[in-house]
Amino acid sequence: AQSVSQHNHHVILSEAASLELGCNYSYGGTVNLFWYVQYPGQHLQLLLKYFSGDPLVKGIKGFEAEFIKSKFSFNLRKPSVQWSDTAEYFCAVNARNYGQNFVFGPGTRLSVLP
Amino acid sequence: DAGVIQSPRHEVTEMGQEVTLRCKPISGHNSLFWYRQTMMRGLELLIYFNNNVPIDDSGMPEDRFSAKMPNASFSTLKIQPSEPRDSAVYFCASSPGPNQPQHFGDGTRLSIL
């Protein structure tokens, strides 16, 4: 069965600091990978996705993620965070042979201090 | 461009009562998902449908929970009887097809007293 782990439960940064949130999954086959963001009191929104091709994926709001197949990782990065990036971030994996069954990680709460 | 629409946004009811949550997916999306989100357990997939057919309901916690999708534009999640531990935010999501990103609704915040 698939599983997704996220390295940090809560990350606190100051504005302009660089961000990297870790995500690892367990599944040996072909996967689709996603990062979602949930702003306080709102629903989940897609930040970026990886299906195939260039392992460095660029998303909205200056976020990017790198798929490293050998490490089963899909870490999210942003060079300079803003206060408005305060949110919860979820990594999700869809193993293609499992059809529509997405597995979400436990989430990482990001707090950006002004 | 209407997104996924859920109703009600908030529901407060007493334990033992029947609760029905509603979802209208994005038009043209073939897959629909119900999730539950709590502080303790995070985001859990309860059930998903493809073309109105339930595919995997292994996440449904117990028989008190049931979900239906009578047509492509409507789904319900029912809890009967409700219990305080069912208190959570319930999200509905839809996607255009297999392996495609999901679009989430605003959720229903359910409180069982």
From first CA to last CA, the distance across chain A in angstroms is: 41
Residue A39 at interface with chain B, using a CB cutoff of 8 Å: no
Residue B99 is predicted with a pLDDT of: 76
- Would the CB atoms of A44 and B93 count as touching at under 8 Å? yes
Asked whether A85 and A110 are in contact (CB, 8 A), the reply is yes
Q: How far is A11 from chain B (nearest CA, A)?
A: 17
Instruction: Kindly calculate the radius of gyration of chain A based on its CA atoms and give it in whole angstroms.
Output: 14
Residue A29 at interface with chain B, using a CB cutoff of 8 Å: no
CA distances to A23, A96, B40, B45, B71 from B33, rounded to whole Å, are: 23, 17, 21, 7, 14
Residue B60: CB atoms within 10 Å = 19
Per-residue pLDDT of chain B in tens (113 residues, 90 and over written 9): 679 999 999 999 999 999 999 999 999 999 999 999 998 888 889 999 999 999 888 889 889 999 999 999 999 999 999 999 999 999 999 999 877 889 999 999 999 99
**3-state SS assignment for residue B48:** strand
Residue A99 is predicted with a pLDDT of: 59
Q: How far is A106 from chain B (nearest CA, A)?
A: 6
**A106 to chain B: closest CA residue:** B42
Q: How many residues does chain A have?
A: 114
User: From CA B56, how far away is CA B11, in angstroms rounded?
Assistant: 26
User: From CA B82, how far away is CA B111, in angstroms rounded?
Assistant: 10
Residue A66 has pLDDT above 60, yes or no: yes
Asked whether A84 and A62 are in contact (CB, 8 A), the reply is no
**A34 to chain B: closest CA residue:** B101
